[in-house]
Amino acid sequence: MFKKILIANRGEIAVRIIRACRDLNISPVAVYSEADAESVHVGLADEAVCVGPAPSVESYLRIPAIIDAARKTSAEAIHPGYGFLAENADFADAVNEAGLVFIGPPPEAMRIMGSKTTARRAAVDAGVPIVPGTVEALSSLAEAERLAEQFGYPVMLKASAGGGGKGMRLVTTAKELRSAFDNAKSEAAGAFGDDSLYLEKAVERPRHIEIQVFADTHGNVVHLGERECSIQRRHQKVIEECPSPIDDPTLREKMGDAAVKLARAVNYTGAGTVEFLVADATRDFYFLEMNTRLQVEHPVTELVTGIDLVREQISVAAGAPLSIAQEDVQWRGHSIECRVYAEDPENNFFPSPGRINYLQVPFGPGIRDDSGVILNSEVSIHYDPLISKLAAWGNTREESIDRLRRALDEYEISGIKTTLPFFRDIVRDEEFIAGRFDTGFISRFSSRREIKRTGVPGTAGQDIAIIAAALSYFQQQRAASTNRPSIAEVESRWKMSGRVLGRQIQNRER
């Protein structure tokens, strides 16, 4: 086992990884930016190395600085967390070349899954169902027109380099195809430096359900069941559950087997997540993409399976076999997680940075809070504003909702606006409680909530928020123009660009 691990991340996930290190008697080394010198993760680590100024391109994304920090402190392995460098295959290569262990999958598996078209090809080759469509990039508008006719409208245009909804367009009729094609292409070029697109038949009212997989270096691959992630806002997950409210053991086994087949096909090791769209009526499922990292929502799987995913990641990276066989995996009870953000739900989820001047964190039966902040913490404008992940476990879905409701009511944060009031309303919403929702839930719920709150349907305040976001976005673009940001950095400027583009917001985990 390793004696010392460097954690190339910040916030709640750095804290989570430090905790796994402690359990394994491994000494954790933190890295931090100048803005994070007083952060919780720095205080909890045994050693901490400053890797640069506040902007992530100059600190958390600087590969040489991160590797130097590991060398200087004699760390043997690097855990990337999520976001930042977690899915950067060149970083994984650099870590390996420095004689260190990258706690994650082989770079080759990351590369295959990094391109949506090669990922779809790998799924087809592994016998995993994909949404009907192309596995090659489209060569022209004419080809797109021909294929759209062939598969039948509505279709989706998606960026090959994409994920998280960027460069994605729903096209319902032939006459919309040209402008959707042009817009998706330029959005993809801007976001990824790659304008290639592919086409899929659109699945209507789908659920987003993902399977957690785990593989070791001895050929063992298991799945740890599903997470229901249909509750998303602008392609950002808001609430995640394990199991899905569908709770269908047959479907779980089929999707789990498919995910394991895919992991095997790309020689995967470590923790990974295979995302599917599920058509609720037929329960047909289709491979969407594979995330080659530990995900934000991993705690709900941990609470229901009893398996410590971060501990398992570390031990698999050290060469140990998986601690569990497929037949030993059991799912007990139900867990639901809320992503508590420093954002104002009453003002179009506009970021709300600042100092936390009062904090009351909920505890009690079935409650877990994975947090990166304490009283007096400063929530910076430079990073994703996730404050904590509040998760509840119960014997049944109903009991987990009861406990979550109680915990959300106990939770108090002052000094900044948070999404807590939004969650307090969701856990009382009939559609949520019934569990019969799809990826359109947040849009329907937000309309209901707006009417209840203000008495009128509408979008008051949104325009001002969008203008402010646009100004801030262009300022940041200008500041960064001397140093072309990586995809991860573009993504960490998150919602600014997302709001300006008016719809697709990127997955902040990337």
Which residues here bind ligand MV4, judged by CB under 6 A?
A: 131, 156, 163-165, 168, 200-203, 206, 208, 232, 235, 277, 288, 439
Please check whether residue 95 is in contact with residue 102, taking contact to mean a CB–CB distance below 8 angstroms: yes
Residue number with CB closer to ligand MV4 (35 or 213): 213
User: Of the residues 16, 207, 234, 293, which is catalytic?
Assistant: 293
Cis bond upstream, residue 154 (ω within 30): yes
Residue number with CB closer to ligand MV4 (151 or 465): 151
Residue number with CB closer to ligand MV4 (156 or 258): 156
Query: Is 449 annotated in the active site?
Result: no
Burial 26-56 (b: 16+ CB within 10 A, else e): bbbbbbbbebbeebbbbebbebbbbbbeebb
**β pairing state of 77-79 and 4-7:** parallel
Q: 102 burial class (0-12, 13-18, 19+ CB within 10 angstroms)?
A: buried
Give min distance, CB of 455 to ligand MV4, in A.
Answer: 28
Packing angle, helices 249-265 and 116-126, rounded to 10: 110
**Angle ∠(475,479,482) on CA atoms, nearest 5:** 140
Q: How far apart are CA 42 and CA 28, in angstroms?
A: 10
Among the listed residues 334, 415, 432, the one whose alpha carbon sits nearest the alpha carbon of residue 373: 415
Q: How far apart are CA 42 and CA 303, in angstroms?
A: 26
Among the listed residues 457, 448, 498, 446, the one whose alpha carbon sits nearest the alpha carbon of residue 191: 498
Residue number with CB closer to ligand MV4 (111 or 201): 201
Amino acid identity, position 4: K
Give min distance, CB of 108 to ligand MV4, in A.
Answer: 22
Q: How far apart are CA 447 and CA 140, in angstroms?
A: 39
Give min distance, CB of 99 to ligand MV4, in A.
Answer: 36
Give min distance, CB of 366 to ligand MV4, in A.
Answer: 27
Q: How far apart are CA 277 and CA 132, in angstroms?
A: 12
Q: How far apart are CA 415 and CA 194, in angstroms?
A: 41
Give min distance, CB of 273 to ligand MV4, in A.
Answer: 12
Residue number with CB closer to ligand MV4 (138 or 203): 203
Give min distance, CB of 290 to ligand MV4, in A.
Answer: 11
Residue number with CB closer to ligand MV4 (326 or 439): 439
Residue number with CB closer to ligand MV4 (20 or 119): 119
Strand extents, DSSP E, 260-380:
270-279, 284-291, 334-341, 343-344, 350-351, 354-355, 358-360, 367-371, 378-379
Q: How far apart are CA 18 and CA 13, in angstroms?
A: 9
Residue number with CB closer to ligand MV4 (5 or 155): 155
Give min distance, CB of 497 to ligand MV4, in A.
Answer: 16
Give min distance, CB of 135 to ligand MV4, in A.
Answer: 13
Give min distance, CB of 165 to ligand MV4, in A.
Answer: 4
Residue number with CB closer to ligand MV4 (41 or 235): 235
- CB neighbours (10 Å) of residue 121? 15
The alpha carbon dihedral of 310, 314, 315, 316 has a sign of positive
Q: How far apart are CA 449 and CA 96, in angstroms?
A: 50
For the CA atoms of 136, 139, 140, 142, what is the dihedral angle to 10 degrees? -60
Q: What is the DSSP string of 45-66?
A: SSEEEEEESSSGGGTTT-HHHH
The residues annotated as belonging to the active site are: 293
